[in-house]
Amino acid sequence: MKNEKRKHKRLEMQKPMYIKFMFAGNTTEYTARLLDVSGSGTRLEINLETENTIELSVFTPIVFDLEFKKKVVKCTGQVVRVFSKHQDGKVFYDFGINFKKMSQEDINFINNYVHRGSNNSK
Protein backbone atom coordinates (compact mmCIF):
# COMPACT_ATOMS: atom_id res chain seq x y z
CA MET A 1 0.00 0.00 0.00
CA LYS A 2 1.46 3.37 -0.93
CA ASN A 3 1.22 6.40 1.30
CA GLU A 4 -1.04 9.18 0.02
CA LYS A 5 0.96 12.42 0.02
CA ARG A 6 -1.73 14.60 -1.53
CA LYS A 7 -3.21 17.49 0.43
CA HIS A 8 -6.72 16.79 -0.92
CA LYS A 9 -8.52 13.64 -2.04
CA ARG A 10 -8.88 13.32 -5.84
CA LEU A 11 -11.92 12.18 -7.79
CA GLU A 12 -11.36 10.38 -11.09
CA MET A 13 -13.97 11.44 -13.61
CA GLN A 14 -16.33 8.59 -14.49
CA LYS A 15 -17.85 10.37 -17.50
CA PRO A 16 -15.84 12.36 -20.04
CA MET A 17 -15.69 16.02 -19.03
CA TYR A 18 -13.93 18.60 -21.18
CA ILE A 19 -12.63 22.08 -20.42
CA LYS A 20 -11.22 24.89 -22.52
CA PHE A 21 -7.97 26.46 -21.36
CA MET A 22 -5.18 28.80 -22.36
CA PHE A 23 -1.59 29.04 -21.29
CA ALA A 24 -1.05 32.40 -19.56
CA GLY A 25 0.13 35.03 -22.01
CA ASN A 26 -1.16 33.04 -25.02
CA THR A 27 -4.40 33.62 -26.94
CA THR A 28 -4.69 30.08 -28.35
CA GLU A 29 -7.51 28.12 -26.71
CA TYR A 30 -7.19 24.34 -26.27
CA THR A 31 -9.69 21.69 -25.22
CA ALA A 32 -8.64 19.11 -22.66
CA ARG A 33 -10.29 16.11 -21.05
CA LEU A 34 -10.52 16.40 -17.27
CA LEU A 35 -9.11 13.15 -15.82
CA ASP A 36 -9.40 13.94 -12.11
CA VAL A 37 -9.90 16.87 -9.74
CA SER A 38 -9.23 17.83 -6.12
CA GLY A 39 -9.28 20.96 -4.01
CA SER A 40 -5.63 21.57 -4.81
CA GLY A 41 -5.36 20.60 -8.47
CA THR A 42 -6.42 18.60 -11.47
CA ARG A 43 -5.09 16.30 -14.16
CA LEU A 44 -5.82 17.02 -17.82
CA GLU A 45 -5.21 15.28 -21.12
CA ILE A 46 -5.06 16.82 -24.57
CA ASN A 47 -4.30 15.24 -27.89
CA LEU A 48 -2.84 17.03 -30.87
CA GLU A 49 -1.90 16.00 -34.36
CA THR A 50 1.85 15.41 -34.36
CA GLU A 51 2.48 18.37 -36.68
CA ASN A 52 0.69 20.71 -34.23
CA THR A 53 2.76 20.07 -31.10
CA ILE A 54 2.88 22.63 -28.31
CA GLU A 55 5.54 23.63 -25.83
CA LEU A 56 4.38 22.22 -22.50
CA SER A 57 6.70 22.05 -19.55
CA VAL A 58 6.68 22.10 -15.78
CA PHE A 59 5.91 25.54 -14.28
CA THR A 60 3.90 26.65 -17.34
CA PRO A 61 1.03 28.88 -16.07
CA ILE A 62 -2.49 27.92 -17.22
CA VAL A 63 -5.89 29.66 -17.11
CA PHE A 64 -9.28 27.87 -17.28
CA ASP A 65 -12.79 27.53 -15.86
CA LEU A 66 -14.13 24.38 -14.20
CA GLU A 67 -17.83 24.13 -15.02
CA PHE A 68 -19.93 22.18 -12.56
CA LYS A 69 -23.72 21.82 -12.77
CA LYS A 70 -24.40 24.76 -10.45
CA LYS A 71 -21.14 26.68 -10.35
CA VAL A 72 -18.25 27.84 -12.53
CA VAL A 73 -14.89 27.99 -10.77
CA LYS A 74 -12.40 30.34 -12.44
CA CYS A 75 -8.95 28.82 -12.15
CA THR A 76 -5.37 29.68 -12.64
CA GLY A 77 -2.77 27.05 -12.09
CA GLN A 78 0.71 25.86 -12.76
CA VAL A 79 1.80 22.75 -14.62
CA VAL A 80 3.67 20.54 -12.14
CA ARG A 81 3.97 17.31 -14.12
CA VAL A 82 3.78 16.45 -17.81
CA PHE A 83 4.36 13.45 -20.00
CA SER A 84 3.42 12.54 -23.55
CA LYS A 85 2.65 9.39 -25.47
CA HIS A 86 2.22 8.73 -29.18
CA GLN A 87 -0.80 6.76 -30.35
CA ASP A 88 -2.40 6.49 -33.81
CA GLY A 89 -0.42 9.44 -35.23
CA LYS A 90 -1.36 11.75 -32.34
CA VAL A 91 0.52 13.02 -29.34
CA PHE A 92 -1.35 12.84 -26.04
CA TYR A 93 -0.20 15.15 -23.24
CA ASP A 94 -1.16 14.21 -19.69
CA PHE A 95 -0.39 16.99 -17.27
CA GLY A 96 -0.96 17.76 -13.61
CA ILE A 97 -1.99 21.23 -12.51
CA ASN A 98 -1.73 22.81 -9.05
CA PHE A 99 -4.38 25.47 -8.52
CA LYS A 100 -3.14 28.98 -7.70
CA LYS A 101 -5.01 31.94 -6.23
CA MET A 102 -8.26 30.06 -5.58
CA SER A 103 -10.69 31.24 -2.93
CA GLN A 104 -11.28 29.06 0.12
CA GLU A 105 -14.97 28.95 -0.92
CA ASP A 106 -14.03 27.40 -4.30
CA ILE A 107 -11.60 24.96 -2.66
CA ASN A 108 -14.38 23.87 -0.27
CA PHE A 109 -16.84 23.55 -3.16
CA ILE A 110 -14.47 21.26 -5.10
CA ASN A 111 -13.65 19.22 -1.99
CA ASN A 112 -17.39 18.70 -1.38
CA TYR A 113 -17.86 17.74 -5.04
CA VAL A 114 -15.04 15.18 -4.73
CA HIS A 115 -16.48 13.83 -1.49
CA ARG A 116 -19.98 13.44 -2.98
CA GLY A 117 -18.53 11.83 -6.13
CA SER A 118 -16.42 9.43 -4.10
CA ASN A 119 -19.44 8.31 -2.11
CA ASN A 120 -21.53 7.83 -5.27
CA SER A 121 -18.89 5.61 -6.90
CA LYS A 122 -18.82 3.07 -4.04
DSSP class of 68: -
> So what's the pLDDT on residue 21?
86
DSSP per-residue codes, 1-45: -PPP--SS--EE-SS--EEEEEETT----EEEEEEEE-SSEEEEE
The average confidence (pLDDT) of the chain is 82
Give the pTM: 0.79
pLDDT at 44: 92
Residue 90's pLDDT is 81
Query: Residue ranges of the chain with pLDDT lower than 50?
Result: 1-2
Q: What do you get for the CA distance between the two ends of the chain, in Å? A: 19
Predicted local confidence at residue 1, as pLDDT = 38
Tell me which CATH code domain 11-117 carries. Answer: 2.40.10.220
Read off the pLDDT of residues 11-41 as tens digits, 9 standing for 90 and up: 999 888 898 888 877 788 888 999 999 999 9
